[in-house]
Amino acid sequence: MPLKLARKDPGVASVADADGRTLLACPACRGELAPDWGCQACGMAFAAPDGVPALRLPGDARTETVRNFYTETPFPNYPPRASLGWLRARADRSEFARLLDAAIPPGARVVEVGCGTGQMSLYLARHGRQVVGADLTRASLLLAAQAAARFRIDGVSFVEMDLTRPALRRRAFDVVYCSGVLHHTPDPRAAFAQIAELARPGGLIILGLYNAVARLPLRLRRAVARVTGERWIPFDPVLRDRAAEPERRAAWLRDQYRHPEEHRHTLGEVRRWFAENQVAFVRSYPPSSSGREVGSLLEPEDDPWMLGDWMTQLGWISSLGGEGGLFVTIGRAS
């Protein structure tokens, strides 16, 4: 079933809304924001230093620890000679990125929740789409905004916020994309409920998480790394591939082996989250149906089978375990 765009209304941004302002909202009350970034409903004052709206409310201690972690080393970073061509070529090497781009029609409103330094947001900002990249860490967002300006990419804007108090309008987006983020929050299930509200009826919700089974190889490597003081980390293909790129190697080592907050999830658990929030499960990536090719992220999979899910996740140990066990689920909001 193809993704059909919602009819635009005066209260929702068009592509011409360069800073994405009308897709944003007060994080305290979800009221509309005035031109000076103050809330027209509750009166809270905000600002947009360096062109990036600062709409983050103070978080709890665990959230602030994660924010400080990424402030010290934004992930992933840009190489010195990064260009738009480099960005697109790098993303196109990923089958998932190509499938995601193909699944999103021209003119769609897209939000990436937890965009980091914005590389996926920048990749998707074409074909007349309007993309908002949201993240907790201002240092990452400034790198994203600088890259957008350097690459001359229109139709993308960035906002600083905490996904547990979203500074985004409810039911305003055709696509809500959140990958590699919720498993670093104190309560991933509650965080998912927040981002599920951002998709308009019929819109897509695309969620990437660490899989509890496929993550086992990295957890074993991390145990060895801690015992040896990171002098020996066996069988990590990413560290091996980045041996000649010390900065990218260090970024992977820090993100995968030293992160202060991490959770892992199963397919069945995510299916329950979807059901709780009136999101229809479409499929997983890689597919949960063994041996099937993925022609489209919008092609529904067979009805779930508990034993089949566990067999799939055991298979992911070999296919996903080398890179940390990240899997993706796709749903459609009702």
**Alpha-carbon distance 40 to 246, whole Å?**
48
110, β-bridge pairs: 131, 175
With the C-alpha atoms ordered 185, 73, 205, 213, is the resulting torsion angle positive or negative? negative
Q: What pLDDT score was predicted for residue 289? A: 61
- In the chain, the N- to C-terminal Cα span, in Å, equals 14
**Residue 165 phi, psi (nearest 5):** -135, 70
As a whole number of angstroms, the distance between CA 29 and CA 269 comes to 30
Beta-strand (E) ranges in 79-163? 109-113, 130-135, 156-160
Rounded distance between C-alpha atoms, residue 305 and residue 288, angstroms: 10
Count of CB atoms situated within 10 Å of the CB of 98: 12
Q: What's the one-letter identity of residue 250? A: A
Residue 20 CB coordination number (10 Å)? 22
Give pLDDT, residue 308.
84
Secondary structure percentages of the chain, helix, strand, coil, to 5: 35, 20, 45
pTM score, two decimals?
Answer: 0.92
The Cα angle at residue 116 between residues 115 and 120, in degrees rounded to 5: 50
Q: What is the pLDDT along the chain (334 residues), one digit of tens a residue?
A: 677 776 554 333 333 355 678 899 999 999 999 999 999 999 999 999 999 999 999 889 999 999 999 988 887 778 888 999 999 999 999 999 999 999 999 999 999 999 999 999 999 999 999 999 999 999 999 999 999 999 999 899 999 999 999 999 999 999 999 999 999 999 999 999 999 999 999 999 999 999 999 999 999 999 999 999 999 999 999 999 888 888 778 888 999 999 999 999 999 999 999 999 999 999 999 987 655 667 899 999 877 777 888 999 999 999 999 889 999 999 999 9
What is the set of domains in the chain, with CATH numbers? 49-216+257-333 (3.40.50.150)
Which of 265, 264, 266, 263 lies closest to 304 in space, CA to CA? 266
Size (the chain), residues:
334
At a CB cut-off of 8 Å and minimum separation 6, what does 317 contact? 213, 214, 216, 217, 325
Identify residue 26 by its one-letter amino acid code.
C
Q: Are 205 and 332 in contact (CB under 8 A)?
A: yes
Exposure of 51 in the CB half-sphere (CA atoms within 13 A): 14
The amino acid at 88: R
